[in-house]
């Protein structure tokens, strides 16, 4: 046994870092953060342009992958999760998206009362330090710095101009009043460094005497006595430790590891737990269910002018970029290079955007392999609200064993028509006059891929995860048999235990999930401390006035 703490937070990721900061603001609260990963120091993590490295390094990533996906030709898809201080906010693409207002109103409709847009907007404002966002809609004094790139490449503005030519609107701030349209993309970068949840929240909190962080701690289970979470059992350097929680245990270990730890602790689908010889403490069939993600494709076009990042794709250039970043914190190393974006609706009758674009002045894969053709540009595109649902389950009682992850991608027939539409709309945007001075041949899928069947074949072979898993400990009403936590993030049926991370999302949000995950940590902290939630906002988000009859 080790000394007791008021709060034990499992996971120093996006939500966990925010929780550690807010729960420790009162010096009377002793807070322990348990993190299996190690330090986030070093240029691979802190230099924004190096983002393709930490995601594929076993030192920083859990190394998970999906089971063979039956609707994607049996492919196993990489499922990176941060195994490092800062969690996935230390290895992600640093794209900052709040989500659409309607996402949170949908959460409320699904039983997450108090999580509508009017309720979460004040938490976004509390957490943000927005540089250049829309006045009155954004926070300007929070710990999370959100910036925009220098737009060093002309193609960023060309992408937006092409969107306008195609008849779409432009929005000054997709994280403000209006998400829909073409816009500059925002990133969690500050003074040229990755502004992870660790840099924003945990490191300042660690200066307080009431916060402890233990790295290299593999949580085995949460110990429950008389239906109350009382302590956490973890392993460090081969030694077994148990730490007591005087008030609460908060699980913030990701949408993959949070349900895994719950199941290892006897909380989950009774049949599945019994199968593995685990004593059932609470039969919650929703644990591990409702797994959602965003899939995306890269639509790649050759560029006829030698202006893309491809010219820097050599050791000398990379070395010079790295050196400039190390010495000055500036230059091409200080950007994630996703500096233009769009959110559009795929057809009339859809109320808010269901397709997202990340635009990149380079034809490259996430793993850093460049298109052989040389200079090019690409749009990452994918539908936002797939109806497919998957699950996370145990493969063994051994806490070191990797879980079974099945996203069941593309299992709903609507996914296929939505994806085909996304590809065709992208080709139309790339075909606009604005791109004429730069547009070469289509690299991927290639101009010969046109029919529904051909596009389906391309999707089956090339769709990749956008790395936005969520939903596996769904928040809902207490009497909902598939809900895992109530609207105050309390695990239903167990006292003193909460979950606060992307696993509690009832439905995936529009865009990247780091922002909403941090917001969950912020809001959950107030519930845990028994504070009155921040006053609701009465601001009305923009919805396309003709959404019922017009696609753009």
pLDDT, tens digit (0-9, with 9 covering 90-100), for 118-131? 999 999 999 999 99
Name residues whose C-beta falls within 8 Å of residue 283's C-beta, 6 or more positions apart in sequence. 268, 269, 270
Residue 434 marked in a binding site? no
For the chain, give percent helix, strand, coil, nearest 5.
Answer: 30, 25, 45
The reported pLDDT for the residue numbered 370 is 65
**Any idea which residues carry the catalytic annotation?**
468
Average pLDDT over residues 221-248: 97
Query: What single-letter DSSP state applies at residue 192?
Result: T
Q: Is a pLDDT exceeding 90 seen at residue 393? A: yes
Residue 507 has pLDDT above 80, yes or no: yes
Question: Was 6 annotated as part of a binding site?
Answer: yes
Judge contact between 168 and 182, C-beta under 8 A: yes
Q: Give the mean pLDDT of 137-152.
A: 96
511-530 tens-digit pLDDT: 999 999 999 999 999 999 99
How confident is the model at residue 1, as a pLDDT?
A: 65
495 known ligand binder? no
Domains and CATH numbers, the chain: 2-70+77-528 (3.50.50.60)
User: What pLDDT score was predicted for residue 465?
Assistant: 96
- Among 43-52, 138-147, 184-193, 480-489, which is the least confidently predicted range? 43-52
Is the pLDDT score of 365 beyond 80? no
Residue 66 gets which letter from DSSP? P
Residue 97 confidence (pLDDT): 98
426: CB partners within 8 A, 6+ apart: 299, 357, 379, 381
Q: Is 23 annotated to bind ligand?
A: yes
pLDDT at 419: 97
Average pLDDT over residues 486-502: 98
pTM for this structure? Answer: 0.97
The answer to whether 146 touches 131, Cβ cutoff 8 Å, is yes
* Residue 353 and residue 511 in contact, taking contact as beta carbons nearer than 8 Å: no
Q: Which long-range contacts (CB under 8 A, 24 or more apart) does 229-233 make?
A: 229/491, 229/494, 229/495, 229/496, 229/497, 230/496, 231/8, 232/8, 232/10, 232/34
Going by C-alpha positions, the residue among 138, 124, 123, 65 that lies closest to residue 406 is 65
Neighbours of 248 (CB within 10 A): 20
Rounded to whole angstroms, how far apart are CA atoms 105 and 110? 9
Statement: residue 94 has pLDDT above 90 = yes
pLDDT digits (tens, 9 = 90+) for 56-88: 899 999 999 999 999 999 999 999 999 999 999
Reported as a pLDDT band with limits 50, 70 and 90, residue 101 is very high
Other CB atoms within 10 A of residue 76 CB:
12
Could you read off the pLDDT of 529-551 as tens digits, one per residue? 999 999 999 999 999 999 999 99
Residue 27 marked in a binding site: yes
What pLDDT is attached to residue 371?
Answer: 67
pLDDT category at 2 given cuts 50, 70, 90 is: confident
* Calpha distance 550→444 (Å, rounded): 29
pLDDT at 369 over 70: no
Mean confidence (pLDDT) of the chain: 96
Question: What are the E-state strand segments in 429-505?
Answer: 439-444, 464-465, 497-499
Tell me if residue 409 falls in helix, strand or coil.
coil
- Of the ranges 101-105, 322-326, 394-398, which one carries the lowest mean pLDDT score? 322-326
Task: Count CB atoms within 10 A of the CB of residue 131.
Answer: 14
């Amino acid at each position: 046994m080790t000394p007791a703490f008021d709060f034990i937070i499992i996971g120093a990721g996006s939500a966990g870092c925010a929780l550690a900061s807010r729960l420790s603001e009162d010096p009377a609260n002793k807070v322990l953060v348990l993190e299996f990963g190690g330090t986030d120091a070093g240029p691979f993590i802190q230099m924004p342009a190096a983002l393709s490295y930490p995601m594929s390094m076993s030192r920083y990533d859990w190394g998970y992958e999906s089971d063979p996906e039956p609707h994607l030709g049996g492919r196993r898809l990489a499922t990176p999760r941060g195994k490092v201080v800062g969690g996935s906010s230390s290895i992600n693409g640093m794209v900052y998206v709040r989500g659409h207002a309607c996402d949170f109103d949908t959460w409320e409709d699904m039983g997450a009362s108090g999580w509508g847009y009017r309720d979460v907007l004040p938490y976004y404002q509390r957490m943000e330090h927005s540089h250049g966002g829309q006045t009155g809609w954004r926070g300007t004094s929070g710990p999370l710095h959100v910036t925009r790139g220098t737009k060093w490449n002309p193609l960023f503005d060309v992408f937006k101009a092409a969107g306008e030519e195609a008849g779409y609107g432009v929005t000054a701030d997709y994280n403000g009043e209006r998400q829909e349209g073409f816009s500059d993309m925002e990133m969690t970068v500050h003074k040229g460094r990755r502004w992870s949840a660790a840099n924003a929240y945990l490191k300042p909190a660690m200066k307080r005497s009431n916060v402890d962080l233990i790295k290299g701690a593999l949580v085995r289970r949460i110990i429950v006595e008389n239906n109350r979470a009382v302590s956490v059992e973890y392993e460090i350097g081969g030694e077994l430790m148990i730490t007591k929680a005087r008030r609460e245990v908060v699980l913030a270990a990701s949408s993959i590891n949070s349900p895994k730890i719950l199941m290892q602790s006897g909380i989950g689908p009774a049949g599945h737990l019994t199968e593995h010889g685990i004593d059932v403490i609470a039969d919650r069939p929703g644990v591990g269910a409702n797994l959602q993600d965003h899939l995306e494709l890269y639509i790649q076009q050759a560029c006829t002018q030698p202006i893309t990042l491809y010219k820097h794709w050599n050791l000398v250039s990379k070395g010079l970029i790295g050196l400039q970043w190390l010495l000055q914190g500036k230059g091409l190393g200080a950007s994630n290079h996703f500096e233009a974006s769009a959110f559009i609706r795929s057809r009339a009758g859809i109320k808010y955007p269901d397709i997202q674009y990340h635009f990149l002045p380079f034809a490259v894969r996430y793993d850093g392999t460049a298109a052989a053709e040389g200079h090019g540009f690409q749009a990452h595109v994918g539908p936002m609200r797939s109806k497919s649902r998957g699950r996370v389950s145990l493969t063994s009682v051994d806490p070191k064993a990797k879980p079974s992850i099945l996203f069941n991608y593309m299992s709903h027939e609507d996914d296929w028509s939505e994806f085909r539409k996304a590809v065709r709309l992208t080709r139309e945007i790339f075909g606009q006059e604005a791109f004429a001075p730069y547009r070469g041949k289509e690299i991927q899928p290639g101009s010969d891929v046109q029919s529904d069947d051909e596009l389906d074949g391309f999707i089956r072979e090339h769709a990749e995860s956008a790395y936005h898993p969520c939903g596996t400990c769904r928040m809902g009403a207490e009497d909902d048999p598939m809900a895992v936590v109530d609207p105050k993030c309390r695990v239903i049926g167990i006292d003193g235990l909460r979950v606060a991370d992307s696993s509690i999302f009832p439905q995936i949000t529009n865009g990247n999930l780091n922002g909403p995950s941090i917001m969950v940590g912020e809001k959950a902290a107030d519930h845990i401390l028994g504070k009155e939630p921040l006053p609701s906002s009465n601001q009305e988000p923009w919805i396309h006035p003709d959404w019922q009859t017009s696609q753009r």
